[in-house]
Structure 1
Amino acid sequence: MTVTFPLIGEPLALDLLNTEAAVGDLVADPAGLTAWLSAQAGRLTPVDVVGEGEVAAVQALRAAARPALDAVRRGERPPAGSLTALNEALAAAPSHRVLAWTEEGGIAADAHRPADPARRLAAELAEAVAELLTDPRVGQVRGCEAHDCVLLFLPAHPRRRWCVASVCGNRARVARYYARHKGDAQA
């Protein structure tokens, strides 16, 4: 079975939260998490082998991130347990920069986290959540307006209403069309 993700390319923290979609948990097993990590290529340190430990770490982090984001979006204090879980993930795999000469002839300063893959992945995702929670635009994060969609997005345009206009937007437009014309057919 191929796992597809309905919305990729939002801030990494939103992409993480969007792995819990109306159809279920898209990272419920190692295969689903591997597929999601592949879709996030270049945004996270690669994980060679994804196992149950990585799945559990990602799910726990996502469970802490959602109530924190919901509260911050409303201008409220996040639950203490959420902040504790996020801070513990960050502390479990601290980062430091490592300088290296690149093949292109320049110098790079990449982040290095000396931790096991599950802790490293959780820390990187916790960092993405922290960036979103402290972003001045966090109050602009929206939920898709489609009645059967639970995905979140950060709109680039203030009039954006759906996570994916060609999917949720089209379904909403078709539903409105049929609702308008249903009365005509019964008349």
Structure 2
Amino acid sequence: MSDFVPLTGELLALDLVNTRPSGADLLATPADLRAWLNLQADRFPQARQFAAVELTGADLAAVQQVRERTARVLEHARHRTRPPVGDLEALNRAQRAAPAINELAWNGDVVTAVRSRTGPPGARLAAWLAEAAAELIADSAVVNVRQCEADDCVMLFLPAHPRRRWCSAARCGNRVRVARHYQRNKPT
């Protein structure tokens, strides 16, 4: 992974799309994908399923394809325009490639149900991510997704507060405020 640390804490689909900030690719290698999954482990319980699995280039390619398709569909959905049919179909195919089931088990006291997917690791991971994308894209809140207002940032976020302007107050917000302060106070 580059020196640029991915933002996490948005909806999973947004975190995935945000792994391509301003021309960089934070998921360029299987090791990058593993590092990103580790960052998501507390929020994305299925990420733990891949802790002991060696991720391959094919697994990475499946995730990258979901990311690119999600980004394109999301851009259309947030502007209420028709997304490319091929992108919608690709996200649906990714979900179907690793069907989800609720596995029932007895834990000694009660029956539990744990959602799981079948198939190879890359297909399972791509399916989980495509499902997260589908949930966001089909949600009416998708029109509230914003792009960071910093001039050099392309990160997306779903604001909890209507006045939020930056992907991260500590990252872009601080940079913008420092630049404004400098412009107001620079020697003439």
Q: Normalising to structure 1: TM-score of the pair?
A: 0.92
Check 1:102–1:23 CA distance in 2 against 1; reply closer, same or farther (3 A cut): farther
Identity value in percent:
51
Residue of structure 2 in register with 1:166 after alignment:
170
Residue of structure 1 in register with 2:72 after alignment:
67
Residue of structure 2 in register with 1:76 after alignment:
81
Q: What is the CA deviation profile of residues 82-114 of structure 1, one whole-angstrom value per residue up to 9, with x for unaligned ones?
A: 1011011011111111112347x4443111211
Residue of structure 1 in register with 2:28 after alignment:
28
Residue of structure 2 in register with 1:92 after alignment:
97
Describe how 1:1-187 pairs up with structure 2 within 5 A.
5-22=5-22, 24-42=24-42, 43=44, 44-45=46-47, 46-47=49-50, 48-102=53-107, 105-182=109-186, 185-186=187-188
- Cα pair 2:8 2:15 within 8 Å, conserved: yes
Q: What is the CA deviation profile of residues 43-101 of structure 1, one whole-angstrom value per residue up to 9, with x for unaligned ones?
A: 12421111111110011111111110000000111111110110110111111111123
RMSD of aligned alpha carbons: 1.7
Take 1:61 and 1:158, find their aligned partners in 2: how far apart are those partners? 29
Aligned length: 183
Take 2:3 and 2:98, find their aligned partners in 1: how far apart are those partners? 29
- Cα pair 1:97 1:109 within 8 Å, conserved: yes
- Cα pair 2:6 2:26 within 8 Å, conserved: no
Q: What is the CA deviation profile of residues 15-36 of structure 1, one whole-angstrom value per residue up to 9, with x for unaligned ones?
A: 1001111261001101100000
Take 1:165 and 1:150, find their aligned partners in 2: how far apart are those partners? 15
Runs (5+) with no aligned partner, structure 1: none
Deviant stretches of 4+, over 4 Å: 1-4
Amino acid at match of 1:124: W
